[in-house]
Amino acid sequence: MADILKFAHDYMGAYTQYKKGWNYEDSCIMVAAIDLYLATGDSFFRDFALNYMERFVAEDGSIPGFELHAYSIDNIAPGRPLFFALDETGDEARWHTAIEFHMNRLRTHPRCQCGNFWHKEIYPWQVWLDGLYMAQPFRMLYERRFNKNADLYDITNQFKVVRAHLYNPEKGLYYHGWDESRQQPWCDKETGLSANFWSRAMGWYLMALIDCIDFCDEQMFEHRQYLVELFREAIKGLVRWMDPMTGLIHQVIDRADVEGNYLETSGSAMLCYALLKGARLRVLDREKYLPIALKEWKGLEETKFFIGEDGQSHIRDMCGVAGLGPGDKRDGSVAYYLSEPRVCDEVKGVAAFLMAYSEVLQAKY
């Protein structure tokens, strides 16, 4: 256990910006740091998150590195850690202003006819599972804190649309993406769906659900109950596909039979986080699901966390990146998902691993 905390210190201590500008990848590691701070009380993690945000958010609340030339739902995700900065510092002029900037940006974000946000301006009329995590936990926090729950139905509706169009009841899984316009080369021309079930896409979806559930208050009871039902259904479906030895899930979840498919770390860690948090919040039956979650954590710790030849700790078997399109690129086939780089220590996978660990520390055995 102590080795993982050391890894977290070392990884964050040497962390460099993932890419130029305000980005969701960096926000993932900030959320992990905040979760570890809340679980351990170690001020290193608090300071890591605050120091990062202070570098990119000016004192007047403006964000010079925010990409303004095109809309991307990914760019809303970094708004979530700003609530932590506001609570820790009390600086309304800086952090509340920055939160409102993100919300105003989201208010003008393009939408599908069904009401859901486009994934990106370069991905028009498309809904991806990833996008729910990028926007909805931020919105739920905003509703609770600043909007008097006025737009809760819109949040719930975005999940309803995804359940209606992307869920496969036979498999108990959600497809990666849906093209409302049926124009993209990767989609089925009748359903608009992509072809397969990707591990990290399901992970984003589960984390979006459990975090939104966590952020609900007593006045949100009806909406919370709907999200709880979706979460339980999705968990029940996904645990069917867990590897019986390790508890992990494959890169292409339901195709363990395909040569080259592998037990993928980031999606598995996201599932582990969701299971542990669901058990802690009493959303899931603890007697049933906590042992499943802890088995999966043991699988992650024993098969993915290792000491390299450099003497340092690393985490293996993460999908570097995956998506759908644009155009003829990234066709959503099994072969495509297995062609993407399989890497160590990628930030989204590290963040999910450390978020799961923060829940392990809080689990009541």
pLDDT in tens, 82-112: 999 999 999 999 999 999 999 999 999 999 9
Mean pLDDT of the chain: 97
250 within 8 A of 307, measured Cβ to Cβ:
no
Instruction: State the Cα angle at 262 between 209 and 361, rounded to 5°.
Output: 45
Q: What is the mean pLDDT of residues 285-301?
A: 97
On the CB side of 100, CA atoms within 13 Å amount to 11
Q: What is the pLDDT of residue 217?
A: 87
pLDDT in tens, 22-56: 999 999 999 999 999 999 999 999 999 999 999 99
Q: Hey, which residues does 177 pair with through a beta bridge?
A: 128
Give me the residue label for tokens 């009806």: 222
Please determine, for residue 354, whether its predicted confidence score (pLDDT) is greater than 70: yes
Tokens of 187: 């989609």
Which residues are CB-neighbours of 132 under 8 A, at least 6 positions away? 158, 159, 162, 204, 205, 208, 209
Please determine, for residue 1, whether its predicted confidence score (pLDDT) is greater than 60: no
Please determine, for residue 201, whether its predicted confidence score (pLDDT) is greater than 90: yes
165 within 8 A of 238, measured Cβ to Cβ:
no
Q: State what percent of residues in the chain have pLDDT above 70.
A: 99
Class of the 2-20+111-362 domain?
A: mainly alpha
336 within 8 A of 330, measured Cβ to Cβ:
yes
Q: What is the pLDDT of residue 2?
A: 53
Please determine, for residue 365, whether its predicted confidence score (pLDDT) is greater than 90: no
**What is the rounded CA–CA span in Å between residue 249 and residue 242?**
5
Show the DSSP H helices in the chain as ranges: 2-13, 24-40, 43-56, 81-89, 97-107, 129-146, 152-166, 199-215, 221-239, 265-280, 286-303, 334-339, 347-362
**What is the rounded CA–CA span in Å between residue 174 and residue 172?**
7
Q: What is the pLDDT of residue 219?
A: 86
**What is the rounded CA–CA span in Å between residue 47 and residue 38?**
12
Q: Hey, which residues does 120 pair with through a beta bridge?
A: 72, 123
145 within 8 A of 83, measured Cβ to Cβ:
yes
Q: What is the mean pLDDT of residues 15-20?
A: 92
pLDDT in tens, 326-337: 988 999 999 999
Q: pLDDT band for position 291 (50/70/90)?
A: very high
DSSP state at residue 91 = -
159 within 8 A of 136, measured Cβ to Cβ:
yes
Please determine, for residue 81, whether its predicted confidence score (pLDDT) is greater than 70: yes
Q: What is the pLDDT of residue 218?
A: 84
**What is the rounded CA–CA span in Å between residue 134 and residue 80?**
9
Please determine, for residue 167, whether its predicted confidence score (pLDDT) is greater than 60: yes
**What is the rounded CA–CA span in Å between residue 322 and residue 117?**
20
pLDDT in tens, 170-198: 999 999 999 999 999 999 999 999 999 99
| 78 upstream amide cis, omega within 30 of 0 | no
User: What are the boundaries of each domain within the chain?
Assistant: 2-20+111-362
What one-character-per-residue DSSP string does 204-271 give?
A: HHHHHHHHHHHH--GGGHHHHHHHHHHHHHHHHHHHTTS-TTT---BSBTT-TTSTT--B-HHHHHHH
Residue 193 zone, left/alpha/beta (φ > 0; ψ -120 to 50; rest): beta
**Which string of b and e fits 189-199 if b means at least 16 CB within 10 Å?**
eeebbbbbbbb
Q: At what angle do helices 221-239 and 199-215 cross, to 10 degrees?
A: 150
Which residues are CB-neighbours of 183 under 8 A, at least 6 positions away? 125
> How, if at all, do strands 177-179 and 305-307 pair?
unpaired
